[in-house]
Amino acid sequence: MKFHEIYAKNPNEIKFSFEVFPPADAEKLQRLKETLEKLSEFKPKFVSLTWGAGGKSNQAENLISDISAVGFDVMPHFTCVCSTKEYVEYHLEKLENLDIDKILALRGDIPEDKSLMHHEFHYACDLVEFIKNKSHLDIAVAGYPEGHIETPDLNTDLANLKKKVDKGANAIFTQMFFDNNKLYKYIEKVHNIGIDLPIIPGIMPILSKKQIDKMTNLARISIPKNLQNNIEKYQNSGSDMQKFGIEYATTQCQDLISQGIKNLHFYTLNKSTSIKQILYNIL
């Protein structure tokens, strides 16, 4: 189901999607399947699968089939920084043969070993344009409410987003954030530069201080003072941190819904407990 079919219909419906990542072994694959089965009661519109074009393609294709077999529509990620155009085109065809109709197009992280880069795609907008010309896939792109960590400021990042949209993007999924006001200001700025696409906020429940430290090191994500205080308060108790994370994400989602934002994308970390409780709380 393409994005206009998902997000244009029934605007008063609260719609969910879940992000998962490829498991490292057979045992973790089984746990992922169990996670998806537990989340299936919420009838997500699709499952987003983190997968780079430079990854293990056969494994990814098998995983797409596994997720589809559970009954989910799948939106794979596709990165380009370490890929040739020939390689990307080959896998686009493979994805369409798997009945995939949408994809999240990303530049991908710059590798430490620069010899792995092919330099045929420099930015996500280049990949968007290529996919648009070579396939019938709907294309989602990433949005950064506080700006991408590699850009000097939010306005520069918004200019980059506009390039992706002008090349053919159909929807925008945001990086996780913990201050809803940052998202509201971001949406306003996106609309002010002439972008009128679905903007789907990304929600990640807090599970540990280590998780938050890692995220804030990799991305430009601010932590409100009250949130930081509670992270420090509960950092030595996994159960208390999880409970707090559920409460915080629930409040975030309830506030978003109250402001008319009813399309939510959850970063699951391949776990179901927090996500299930958040959804129970907001439905």
Give the model's pLDDT for residue 63. 87
What is the domain count for the chain? 1
What own/partner pairs with CB < 8 Å and gap ≥ 24 does 127-133 have? 127/78, 127/79, 127/80, 127/88, 128/164, 128/167, 128/168, 128/169, 129/167, 129/168, 130/80, 130/85, 130/88, 130/89, 131/78, 131/88, 131/92, 131/103, 131/105, 131/168, 132/167, 132/168
Which token pair is 219? 């991305």
In order along its 283 residues, the chain shows pLDDT tens digits of: 999 999 998 889 999 999 999 988 889 989 998 999 999 999 999 999 997 644 445 567 788 888 888 889 999 998 888 888 998 999 899 898 889 999 999 998 877 777 777 778 989 999 999 999 999 999 999 999 999 999 999 999 999 999 999 999 999 999 999 999 999 999 999 999 999 999 999 999 999 999 999 999 899 999 999 999 999 999 999 999 999 999 999 999 999 999 999 999 999 999 999 999 999 999 9
Give the model's pLDDT for residue 58. 55
Give the model's pLDDT for residue 141. 98
Nearest CA among 137, 138, 143, 102 for reference residue 124: 143
Give the model's pLDDT for residue 244. 98
Give the model's pLDDT for residue 161. 98
Give the model's pLDDT for residue 231. 97
- CATH number for 78: 3.20.20.220
Domain interval for residue 61: 3-282
Cβ atoms of 50 and 22 closer than 8 Å? yes
pTM: 0.95
Q: Which residues are designated catalytic? A: 19
Give the model's pLDDT for residue 54. 44
Give the model's pLDDT for residue 59. 66
Give the model's pLDDT for residue 53. 45
